[in-house]
């Protein structure tokens, strides 16, 4: 029995189970030797006296002891990552032997298949992971398994200690180059049997219960590679289920470059496409891969395949979907870009790889420049991550620019689908601001319904007289086209951008100017409008001034001012905004966010060429106290409110209209 252990938490049931496990293991003689070794009082020296059949006991390095103690006695989220760690080590070892064989065919089992074999024994609740990789020498077992390489280990230990009673994210464990030990999350003791690929190598068995000591002995192992065997702890026996393990492999290790066999069946079917040459990839493969990473059922709209070497090294295969996920799923299914290091899965929603406004992009990034098992906190701030993010952003914008230039219809489809998110980049990504501005698209009075224009094209259509870029914002195109403030521009053939996406009202004022031309809302009072000399007859200055006074008096503090309009052609009146005010649409948005938001007062502009205004001027001349005149003025004002969609008292409006009709139909 393994009585020498100083563990205090383990139950005798498990201990006896362990003993059973050992009894079932083929090499019983050596096992009992091991047990003997352990039964001895704790030895101090590294190479303690050898046991009967060459079993040597070693003590873990002090830091590692502490670390292991914590690993063993903590609770975890994601304990399943132990499997990823072991497969990753096997994959590393296979890579190493493959590399060596490129130049040196003189290795043990040169013909052996390169693969990882996982065997589950559901009765025994045990797992065996075996690879035909490079294997380990005795020295490797001591220096690489029994020692921690990272100088930050103590820091990590402190971090784990500080988390005391909370569950620890198992992803933290591998961070300090001790991924192998994550196996102690799910087992009490582990056996490694290994033999190095050198033809004259010797096989070894390493065994440990994680705390205190480990043993090494020589064994007779005919094949190269490493075999790791352990029995699962009672609270981890779910990992003896084939389904569960298959699922974990699919999740974390699907793109490992070597076949993974689970109970003799190959499970990782998806190739690491991003490691291939562009010319090798068929569209079908790409589409299939996209569906795999995104959970989408449609083909992507387009993709980007990158292989970057330089100050940061990575490969990426990124996709732009056809459609945005339905609104209600947008936050739940937040799978964005999967992060891999050397084909080993790290995170499936690595948010730090892309700025927020490009989060509709799906795919895979695989870099050698981040440690495997890096924690989320580390990924975020690592300089490699910052560089990758900037390169990806740059390349994605390049792809969109290419579409915009060479396939405008596609770009327009992209834009319609993702603009609401994409446009937010203007408020956050200042380093790419100019490029983003050029990628904006708007409807306008010139574009066909549903078509859009860039600011660049707008400017190219501007007449020589026109100094500013004009826009009008509101709910939808049809409503916008009815806005009286457009009349002047329509008459003069001046193009006006029609902004029907609520976000645009917030974005355009922020852009300020494009190619040195101010962007101006035509809702604003301070637009410099030139009036033609040959205009229809207007009220004289006197008449109009006197009428304006009555308007002001009647409307009181409903308005900031009343003035003669230059922009109206067919309508009697319109509301505009003072220089410092928000335009109507923006104000409406603000009210939605903030209940008690009180917008600025508006300016009422009247069309002194309009018959109604002329009639009112005549009434005013006859009797400025005429109640009908006052009623009509209020109605003109409410009518302007109604048109822009901000009339708040429709019943009064209708009542007044009824009164006016009674008056008009009196006969
Ligand atoms: P890391 O993989 O980050 O180096 P691990 O704790 O996972 O840290 O593994 C420690 C070391 O043990 C590895 O670097 C490798 O040298 C050795 N090792 C682990 N598993 C295997 C294996 N299956 N084959 C060969 N060497 C292995
Ligand atoms: Mg490892």
Query: Residue 177 — very low, low, confident or very high, per pLDDT cuts 50/70/90?
Result: low
How does pLDDT run across 147-174, given as a tens digit for each residue? Answer: 775 666 677 777 777 776 788 777 667 6
Residue 239 lies in a domain: no
Domain boundary among 366, 391, 409: 409
CA distance 573 to 637: 7
Do residues 339 and 484 share a domain? no
Distance 74 CA to ligand 1 centre (A): 22
Residue 241 lies in a domain: no
- Most ligand 1 atoms within 8 A of CB, residue of 92, 171, 185, 342 to mutate: 92
Do residues 595 and 467 share a domain? no
Domain boundary among 492, 521, 550: 521
CATH of the domain at 356: 3.30.230.80
Do residues 395 and 455 share a domain? no
pTM assigned to the model: 0.65
Determine whether the shortest distance from the Cβ of 177 to ligand 1 is under 6 A: yes
Q: Is 124 exposed, middle or buried (0-12, 13-18, 19+ CB in 10 A)?
A: middle
Of 8-22, 279-293, 329-343, the least confident: 8-22
Do residues 553 and 486 share a domain? no
86 with 129: CB under 8 angstroms? yes
Query: Residue 374 — very low, low, confident or very high, per pLDDT cuts 50/70/90?
Result: low
CATH of the domain at 495: 3.40.50.11260
Do residues 506 and 648 share a domain? no
Residue 215 lies in a domain: yes
Buried b (16+ CB within 10 A) or exposed e, 619-654: bbeeeeeeeebbbbbbbbbbbbbebbebeeeeeebe
Q: Which ligand is nearest to the CA of 141?
A: 1
Distance 140 CA to ligand 1 centre (A): 9
- Most ligand 1 atoms within 8 A of CB, residue of 64, 82, 144 to mutate: 144
Query: Of ligand 1's atoms, which has the minimum distance to the CA of residue 371?
Result: 3
Domain boundary among 367, 390, 409: 409
Query: Of ligand 1's atoms, which has the minimum distance to the CA of residue 145?
Result: 12
Number of helical H runs and strand E runs in the chain: 22, 24
Q: Whose CA is nearest to atom 8 of ligand 1?
A: 177
Average pLDDT over residues 600-616: 93
- For the chain, how far is it from start to end, CA to CA, in angstroms? 116
Distance of CA 219 to the CA centre of its chain: 50
CATH of the domain at 614: 1.20.120.790
Q: How many CB atoms lie within 10 A of CB 384?
A: 18
Residue 263 lies in a domain: no
pLDDT number for residue 296? 77
495 with 470: CB under 8 angstroms? yes
CATH of the domain at 173: 3.30.565.10
Distance 336 CA to ligand 1 centre (A): 30
CA distance 559 to 603: 6
- Indicate if the pLDDT at residue 189 is higher than 90: yes
CA distance 563 to 548: 7
Provide, rounded to the nearest whole percent, the portion of the chain with pLDDT above 70. 86
**What residues does 127 pair with on adjacent strands?**
120, 230
Residue 355 lies in a domain: yes
Q: Which ligand is nearest to the CA of 144?
A: 1
Q: Whose CA is nearest to atom 20 of ligand 1?
A: 89
Q: How many domains are contained in the chain?
A: 4
CA distance 653 to 245: 70
- Cα-only R_g, the chain: 37
Distance of CA 376 to the CA centre of its chain: 13
E strands present in 196-336: 203-208, 213-219, 225-232, 260-262, 265-266, 302-308, 314-320
- Most ligand 1 atoms within 8 A of CB, residue of 89, 214, 256, 368 to mutate: 89
Do residues 501 and 555 share a domain? no
Q: Whose CA is nearest to atom 1 of ligand 1?
A: 177
User: 19 or 326: whose pLDDT is higher?
Assistant: 326
Residue 16 lies in a domain: yes
Do residues 516 and 571 share a domain? no
Distances (CA, A) of 235 to 55, 125, 187, 188: 31, 11, 9, 11
Q: Whose CA is nearest to atom 9 of ligand 1?
A: 180
Do residues 491 and 568 share a domain? no
Do residues 42 and 159 share a domain? yes
Do residues 508 and 573 share a domain? no
- Indicate if the pLDDT at residue 26 is higher than 50: no
The residue length of the chain stands at: 667
Do residues 307 and 173 share a domain? no
Residue 592 lies in a domain: yes
Angle at 76 between CA 15 and CA 60, to 5 degrees: 55
The tokens describing 11, both together, are 């139950």
Q: How many CB atoms lie within 10 A of CB 35?
A: 19
Q: Which residues, including other chains, have CB under 8 Å from residue 596's CB and lie 6 or more apart? A: none
- Most ligand 1 atoms within 8 A of CB, residue of 152, 180, 203, 370 to mutate: 180
Do residues 187 and 312 share a domain? no
- Which domain does 27 fall in, by range? 7-230
- Picking from 111, 163, 158, 154, the residue whose alpha carbon sits closest to that of residue 132 is 111
Residue 260 lies in a domain: no
């Amino acid at each position: 029995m393994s009585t020498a252990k100083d563990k205090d938490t383990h139950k005798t049931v498990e201990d006896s189970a362990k003993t059973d496990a050992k009894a079932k293991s083929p090499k019983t003689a050596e096992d009992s030797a091991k047990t003997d070794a352990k039964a001895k009082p704790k030895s101090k020296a590294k190479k303690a006296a050898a046991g009967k059949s060459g079993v040597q006991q070693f003590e873990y390095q002090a830091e590692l002891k502490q670390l292991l103690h914590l690993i063993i006695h903590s609770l975890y989220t994601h304990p399943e990552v132990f499997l990823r760690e072991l497969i990753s080590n096997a994959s590393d070892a296979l890579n190493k032997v493959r590399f060596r064989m490129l130049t040196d065919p003189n290795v043990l089992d040169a013909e052996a298949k390169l693969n990882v074999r996982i065997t589950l024994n559901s009765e025994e609740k045990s797992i065996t992971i075996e690879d035909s990789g490079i294997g380990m020498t005795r020295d490797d077992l001591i220096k690489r398994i029994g020692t921690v390489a990272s100088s930050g280990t103590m820091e990590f230990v402190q971090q784990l200690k500080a988390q005391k009673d909370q569950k620890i994210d198992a992803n933290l464990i591998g961070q300090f180059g001790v991924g192998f030990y994550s196996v102690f999350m799910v087992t009490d003791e582990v056996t490694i049997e290994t033999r190095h690929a050198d033809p004259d190598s010797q096989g070894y068995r390493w065994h440990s219960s994680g705390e205190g000591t480990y043993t090494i002995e020589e064994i007779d192992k005919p094949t190269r590679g490493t075999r790791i065997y352990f029995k699962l702890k009672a609270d981890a026996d779910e990992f003896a289920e084939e389904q569960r393990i298959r699922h974990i492999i699919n999740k974390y290790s699907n793109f490992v470059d070597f076949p993974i066999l689970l109970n003799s069946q190959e499970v990782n079917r998806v190739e690491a496409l991003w490691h291939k040459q562009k010319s090798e990839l068929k569209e079908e493969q790409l589409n299939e891969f996209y569906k795999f990473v995104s959970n989408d059922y449609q083909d992507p709209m387009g993709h980007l395949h990158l292989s970057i070497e330089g100050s940061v090294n990575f490969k990426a295969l990124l996709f732009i979907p056809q459609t945005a996920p339905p609104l209600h799923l947008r936050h739940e299914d937040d799978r964005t870009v999967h992060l891999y290091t050397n084909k080993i899965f790290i995170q499936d929603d690595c948010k730090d790889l892309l700025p927020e406004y490009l989060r509709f992009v799906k795919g895979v990034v695989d870099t050698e420049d981040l440690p495997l098992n890096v924690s989320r906190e580390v990924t975020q701030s690592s300089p490699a991550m910052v560089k990758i993010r900037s390169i990806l952003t740059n390349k994605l914008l390049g792809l969109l620019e290419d579409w915009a230039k060479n396939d405008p219809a596609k770009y327009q489809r992209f834009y319609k689908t993702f603009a609401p998110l994409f446009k937010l980049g203007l408020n956050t990504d200042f380093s790419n601001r100019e490029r983003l501005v050029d990628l904006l698209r708007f409807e306008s009075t010139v574009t066909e319904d549903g078509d859009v224009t860039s600011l660049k094209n707008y400017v190219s259509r501007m007449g020589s007289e026109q100094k500013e870029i004009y826009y009008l914002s509101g709910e939808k195109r049809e409503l916008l086209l009815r806005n009286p403030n457009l009349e002047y521009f329509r008459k003069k053939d001046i193009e006006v951008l029609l902004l029907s996406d609520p976000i645009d009202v917030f974005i355009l004022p922020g852009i300020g100017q494009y190619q040195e031309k101010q962007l101006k809302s035509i809702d604003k009072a301070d637009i410099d409008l030139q009036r033609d000399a040959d205009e229809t007859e207007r009220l004289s200055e006197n008449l109009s001034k006197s009428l304006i006074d009555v308007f002001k008096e009647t409307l009181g503090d409903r308005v900031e001012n009343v003035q003669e309009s230059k922009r109206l052609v067919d309508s009697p009146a319109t509301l505009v905004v003072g220089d410092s005010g928000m335009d109507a649409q923006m104000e409406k948005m603000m009210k939605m966010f903030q209940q008690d938001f009180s917008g600025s007062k508006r300016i009422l502009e009247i069309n002194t060429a309009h018959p109604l205004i002329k009639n009112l001027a005549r009434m005013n001349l006859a009797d400025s106290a005429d109640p009908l005149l006052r009623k009509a003025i209020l109605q003109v004002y409410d009518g302007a409110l109604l048109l822009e969609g901000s009339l708040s008292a429709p019943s009064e409006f209708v009542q007044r209209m009824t009164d006016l009709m009674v008056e008009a139909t009196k006969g």
